[in-house]
Amino acid sequence: MTSPGTEPHVERRRAERRHSDRRQALGAAPEDSWFGALADGNQSTLQPGFGDESRLEPEGASSESRFLAREARRIVVGEGSALRRVFGAYVAARAALGTALVLTPWIMSLLGTRLAVEALLVCMAYAVQAVSMWLLPPSPVPGMPASRLVRRQWVLTIGVDLFVFSLLHLLEPGAHLNYAALLALPVLMAGVMTKRVGALATAALVSLVLLAGVWRASLSGAFSAVLLTQAGLGGLGAFAITLLSGELAQRLAREERTARGSLELARQQARLNRLVIEEMTDGVLVVDRRCRVRAANPAARGMLGARAADRPAPFALHGEAGWETLLQAIEKAFGAGRWPREHRELTLPHVDGGTHTVQVRARFTKRSGIGEEATAPQEVCVLFLEDMRSVQARVQQEKLAAMGRMSAGIAHEIRNPLAAIAQANALMLEDDLAGAQQRLARIVEDNVERLKRIVDDVMAVAPGTTSGPQAIDATAEVARICREWLATSGLPSGTSDARVELDLPPVPMPVLFDPEHLRRVLTNLLDNACRHGTETPGAVVVCLRHPPAQAPGGALLTVASDGPPIAPDVERHLFEPFFSTRSRGTGLGLYICRELCERYRASIDYRPGPAGGRHRNVFRVLLRSAPTA
């Protein structure tokens, strides 16, 4: 509360000083807090730093605690420690005091009193030293704590003050001026800036100087019990000032360390929050009542379209085509004071120029000032945006997982009756059947084999069948699998008219994979390549190489064929289950390849061949390298 005698301009200066300290504190760490955008709703630009001042000024705190919080914040964000600033103020006070001591003799001469020449020379020398110390401060000593003075600093400040003020006190023992009061300054600074032993020693020296002044007065016959009592009380006061200032300085240092540690924890938490929000796949927008975006993570900028990709916050949602639906929803929510309990689906522009549907949820929060700086609560809205394509993909993935579990159970149940059918059909083929019956039995046998392959494919990707990866030599395994596949398919190998060419390195390439699963992946790719490729020599090329520098992995296995290019509408569904371009295909081959690769943290993808090249279809498998012994 302002006292009746306080002038308005004084209060105005105090308010400006408080706001200046606040701005300085908020500007201390511009990149630390993602929610620094909430700093001040009345400003057109964001104030960098910690927008949430509740870290240092808790809600409902007393005026004293708020003052201490502001002081702690000012201490920890300023340059150097609080005691270093106290030392700077002490050096400036010495310069001002030296100037005053030089001017004192001229003022006294105007009053008709002349001082001793010796005292005048001492004052002039002290003024020169104090002003020089203020204008040309000594450089700090590396490794020394800011709360303590090194010996050189002690001598140039406290030591000089003790010597000069003691000399003035002894030269002018109260005849015209009493210099004894000046001795309180070095005593005070010794208690603040030196260790307790040094501070007590300084107080003891001051006590001896006061007693020496009484002794000098006794030589001129002016000794009295009053002077001795004054000297004794002055010595006791020096010790009291030393102990009290030392205790206060230690408390200030402890508070500073605590505040600095708390601020560092807050900064770490802010960095963690920033990292989490920036890496979220869901978009996060902070919007105020004026529909200005105060902060947005990269995912949200991508969902808002190309216009928001590089626009710095804050930016307005008004006047932008494509954002009208979001703007209307936010204005309606602010007007109603709440967001619908269920999510809302809005259409927004996409970065590629089209549109997409996003699922929007919102939460409201309020922020207000503290204590004397309190302002009206400002309501902001935090929006969570999720692309409906991601939602649909997640739902589809859950459906596929459920379908996979169900299919695995069905396949397991089919195995036993399928084995019985195959065995019964084999017994029938052993009998002397007529030609028509033989054909029917062969049809049954072919379809039983097809069902067995489907069951094996489904069981291969069933949950719970994962085996641990093994360190294998990719060069040797690929060569062995290709030889076995060529022998089974009846295709020549190693000749000039060979349909399949192998391009393998001469050195081992250790990777992490299961040999049997690698056989399934490579066999499936070879089957597809030969099925859709031509029958000319070199129509299919199997290559094993080290991956490019920008691609992590241990080995890059490619299977290229010279078949017709895959259409774009087919390419996007290549690795989906039950998708096939053949009437008798199961649509599980490439899906199983992808599942097996992901099981061992490998990857498989399709790349069109180089334009004008022979091999226009390339499937790539990036295998993880095995750790070397």
Decide: 349 and 339 in contact? Cβ < 8 Å: no
Tokens of 265: 């924890």
Report the distance separating Cα 370 and Cα 60, nearest Å: 8
Residue 43 confidence (pLDDT) above 50: no
Closest residue by Cα to residue 95 from 183, 171, 157, 149: 157
What sign does the dihedral 13-17-19-23 (CA atoms) show? positive
Lowest mean pLDDT among 168-177, 195-204, 534-543, 618-627: 168-177
Report the distance separating Cα 343 and Cα 336, nearest Å: 16
DSSP H stretches of helix in 136-195: 151-154, 160-171, 184-193
Q: Residue 66's pLDDT is what?
A: 45
Q: Residue 420's pLDDT is what?
A: 84
- Residue 403 sits at φ, ψ, to 5 deg, of -65, -35
Q: 142 falls in which pLDDT band (50, 70, 90)?
A: low
Q: Residue 353's pLDDT is what?
A: 56
- Higher pLDDT among residues 57 and 455, named by residue: 455
Q: 541 falls in which pLDDT band (50, 70, 90)?
A: very high
Lowest mean pLDDT among 91-95, 374-378, 515-519, 600-604: 374-378
Please confirm whether the linkage preceding 314 is cis (ω < 30° from 0): yes
Architecture of domain 470-624 in this structure:
2-Layer Sandwich (3.30)
Closest residue by Cα to residue 329 from 359, 299, 371, 366: 359
Closest residue by Cα to residue 238 from 161, 184, 165: 184
Q: 213 falls in which pLDDT band (50, 70, 90)?
A: confident
Residue 175 confidence (pLDDT) above 60: no
Q: 88 falls in which pLDDT band (50, 70, 90)?
A: confident
Report the distance separating Cα 283 and Cα 358, nearest Å: 10
Percent of the chain with pLDDT over 70: 73
Which contiguous run of DSSP H or E holds residue 550?
A: none
Mean pLDDT over 90-104 rounds to 86
- Higher pLDDT among residues 76 and 325, named by residue: 325
Residue 65 confidence (pLDDT) above 50: no
Tokens of 270: 């802010």
Q: 350 falls in which pLDDT band (50, 70, 90)?
A: low
Q: 478 falls in which pLDDT band (50, 70, 90)?
A: very high
- Higher pLDDT among residues 350 and 410, named by residue: 410
Percent of the chain with pLDDT over 90: 7
Mean pLDDT over 119-124 rounds to 83
Residue 542 confidence (pLDDT) above 90: yes
Q: Bridge partners of 512? A: 471
Report the distance separating Cα 609 and Cα 81, nearest Å: 65
Report the distance separating Cα 325 and Cα 10, nearest Å: 50
CA angle at 340 for the pair 339 and 345, rounded to the nearest 5°? 100
Residue 330 confidence (pLDDT) above 90: no
Decide: 293 and 287 in contact? Cβ < 8 Å: yes
Rg of the chain, C-alpha, whole Å: 43
Q: Specify the fold of 278-368+377-393.
A: Beta-Lactamase (3.30.450)
Q: Residue 315's pLDDT is what?
A: 80
Alpha carbon dihedral 352, 356, 362, 365, in 10-degree steps, equals 20
How many other C-beta atoms lie within 10 A of the C-beta of residue 214? Answer: 19
Residue 477 confidence (pLDDT) above 90: yes
Q: Where are the domains of the chain?
A: 67-258, 278-368+377-393, 405-461, 470-624
Residue 149 confidence (pLDDT) above 70: no
Closest residue by Cα to residue 595 from 606, 607, 584, 603: 603
Average confidence score pLDDT of the chain: 74
Mean pLDDT over 5-23 rounds to 49
Residue 558 confidence (pLDDT) above 90: yes
Q: Residue 210's pLDDT is what?
A: 82
Tokens of 507: 């050195």
Which contiguous run of DSSP H or E holds residue 378?
A: strand 378-387
pLDDT, one tens digit per residue, over 249-305 is 888 878 878 888 888 888 888 888 888 888 887 888 888 888 888 788 888 887 777
